[in-house]
């Protein structure tokens, strides 16, 4: 069985970009698990570093900014081996050029989007092998937030960019509601113990909406309490467990009676399939953001 590896990160002060990492619990030093480090950027982005067990090499996920990444790599004497990109938005790609200029590393990204300096375009079913990390990730196509968004799944971990968030999902900018719903279904099909590494700390606001959509969801009320407690201590709420998302994230609950009922009330008409429920709930949240 996969050991749980959810640990939290402590801010040294009020500034989001000065997160400190709690010591890694022994349970996380499982050889099958990779070691994941968050680098906070901008107001609420997480740039994820995927490290080998000895923490000598790293892959960089969605570097929107190069500066905090370079600082971290230099400070810890880590050699970057690859950049993994989920989608083309600037807060996920803005640091690529500088990192490539400095380190000459390959850039993996969505085949259907324009990504600066991309060397390895990827699509559904492709496999990324990172030798130095002894890591392999499978690519899942997840259009919706953008038209070519991809997810990286491997070692019980999902790097999902702006597709699924803790307690919510990304806005549907370039794809269709139907596509985004299909992306939710693909994520739902992954094992419950999957750790979800999304790219933003949006959890508290997401859960406020989740409570509007499902006021009587017990696990959700508990998650809101837990999340508020973490945020009060300036700790990250990411990664989260997929099993918790399935219990509390409305966008993964489009087949659940309690959500269907409130979505129908909001839509003022019967909704005949889960994709319609998804589209309704997504529009509902958009109207309140
Ligand atoms: Zn985005
Ligand atoms: Fe983003």
- Ligand showing the shortest atom-to-Cα distance for residue 163: 1
State yes or no: is 92 an active-site residue.
yes
Catalytic residue among 88, 91, 141, 149: 91
Q: What is the pTM of this model?
A: 0.91
Catalytic residue among 88, 89, 149, 155: 89
Q: What is the pLDDT of residue 25?
A: 42
Kindly state the percentage of the chain with pLDDT values over 70. Answer: 89
Q: What is the pLDDT of residue 34?
A: 86
Q: 195-198 and 164-165 as β-strands: parallel, antiparallel, unpaired?
A: unpaired
State yes or no: is 89 an active-site residue.
yes
State yes or no: is 120 an active-site residue.
no
| 120-122: strand order across its sheet | 35-41, 45-51, 57-61, 79-84, 107-110, 120-122
Instruction: Please give the distance, rounded to the nearest whole angstrom, from the Cα atom of residue 269 to the centre of ligand 1.
Output: 31
Task: For residue 271, give every residue at least 6 positions away whose Cβ sits within 8 Å of its Cβ, in sequence order, or none.
Answer: 260, 263, 264, 277, 280
Task: Categorize the per-residue pLDDT at 85 as very low, low, confident or very high, splitting at 50, 70 and 90.
Answer: very high
Neighbours of ion ligand 1 (CB under 5 A): 89, 162
State yes or no: is 76 an active-site residue.
no
Instruction: Please give the distance, rounded to the nearest whole angstrom, from the Cα atom of residue 213 to the centre of ligand 1.
Output: 24
Q: What's the CA gap between 249 and 253, in Å, rounded?
A: 7
Q: What is the pLDDT of residue 16?
A: 62
Fold of 9-288: Metallo-beta-lactamase; Chain A (3.60.15)
State yes or no: is 200 an active-site residue.
yes
Instruction: Please give the distance, rounded to the nearest whole angstrom, from the Cα atom of residue 89 to the centre of ligand 2.
Output: 6
- Ligand showing the shortest atom-to-Cα distance for residue 200: 2
Distance of CA 84 to CAs 70, 194, 229, 244, 265, Å? 16, 19, 32, 26, 41
* 260: helix, strand or coil: helix
Q: What's the CA gap between 85 and 92, in Å, rounded?
A: 7
Kindly state the percentage of the chain with pLDDT values over 90. Answer: 87
Q: What's the CA gap between 150 and 137, in Å, rounded?
A: 12
Instruction: Please give the distance, rounded to the nearest whole angstrom, from the Cα atom of residue 163 to the centre of ligand 1.
Output: 8
Contact in structure between 41 and 47 (CB atoms under 8 Å): yes
177-188 vs 274-288: helix crossing angle, rounded to 10: 110
90 torsion bin: left (phi>0), alpha (psi -120 to 50), beta (else): alpha
Task: Kindly report, residue by residue over 172-207, the tens digit of the pLDDT.
Answer: 999 999 999 999 999 999 999 999 999 999 999 999
In the predicted model, what is the mean pLDDT of residues 265-270? Answer: 98
Q: What's the CA gap between 84 and 133, in Å, rounded?
A: 13
104 torsion bin: left (phi>0), alpha (psi -120 to 50), beta (else): left
* 131: helix, strand or coil: helix
CB atoms under 10 Å from CB of 106, counted, come to: 16
Q: What's the CA gap between 93 and 276, in Å, rounded?
A: 32
Task: Kindly report, residue by residue over 86-109, the tens digit of the pLDDT.
Answer: 999 999 999 999 999 999 999 999
Instruction: Please give the distance, rounded to the nearest whole angstrom, from the Cα atom of residue 57 to the centre of ligand 1.
Output: 26
For the chain, what are the domain ranges? Answer: 9-288
Q: What's the CA gap between 199 and 162, in Å, rounded?
A: 6
Residue matched to tokens 């909704």? 271
Task: Kindly report, residue by residue over 269-283, the tens digit of the pLDDT.
Answer: 999 999 999 999 999
Dihedral angle of Cα 247, 275, 140, 48, to the nearest 10 degrees = -50
* 61: helix, strand or coil: strand
Instruction: Please give the distance, rounded to the nearest whole angstrom, from the Cα atom of residue 185 to the centre of ligand 1.
Output: 20
- Ligand showing the shortest atom-to-Cα distance for residue 61: 2
């Amino acid at each position: 069985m996969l050991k749980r590896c959810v640990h939290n990160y402590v801010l040294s002060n009020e500034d989001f970009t000065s997160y400190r990492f709690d010591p890694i619990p022994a349970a996380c030093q499982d050889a099958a698990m990779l070691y994941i480090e968050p680098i906070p950027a901008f107001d609420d982005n997480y740039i994820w570093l995927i490290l080998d067990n000895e923490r000598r090499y790293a892959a960089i996920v969605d570097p929107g900014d190069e500066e905090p990444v370079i600082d971290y790599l230099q400070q810890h004497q880590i050699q970057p081996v690859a950049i993994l990109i989920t989608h083309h938005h600037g807060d996920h790609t803005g640091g690529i050029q500088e990192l490539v200029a400095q380190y000459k590393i390959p850039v993996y990204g969505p085949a259907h989007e324009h990504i600066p300096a991309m060397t390895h375009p990827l699509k559904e079913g492709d496999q990324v092998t990172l030798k130095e990390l002894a890591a392999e990730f499978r690519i899942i196509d997840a259009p919706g937030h953008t038209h070519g968004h991809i997810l990286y799944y491997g070692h019980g971990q999902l790097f999902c960019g702006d597709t699924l968030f803790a307690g919510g999902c990304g806005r549907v900018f370039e794809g269709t509601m139907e596509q985004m719903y299909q992306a939710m279904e693909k994520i739902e099909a992954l094992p419950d113990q999957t750790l979800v590494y999304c790219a933003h700390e949006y959890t508290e606001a997401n859960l406020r909406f989740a409570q509007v959509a499902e006021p009587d969801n017990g696990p959700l009320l508990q998650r809101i309490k837990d999340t508020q407690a973490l945020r009060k201590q300036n700790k990250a709420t990411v990664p989260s467990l997929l099993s918790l998302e399935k219990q509390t994230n409305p966008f993964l609950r489009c087949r659940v009676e309690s959500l269907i009922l409130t979505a129908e009330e909001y839509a003022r008409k019967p909704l005949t399939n889960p994709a319609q429920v998804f589209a309704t709930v997504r529009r509902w949240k958009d109207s309140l953001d």
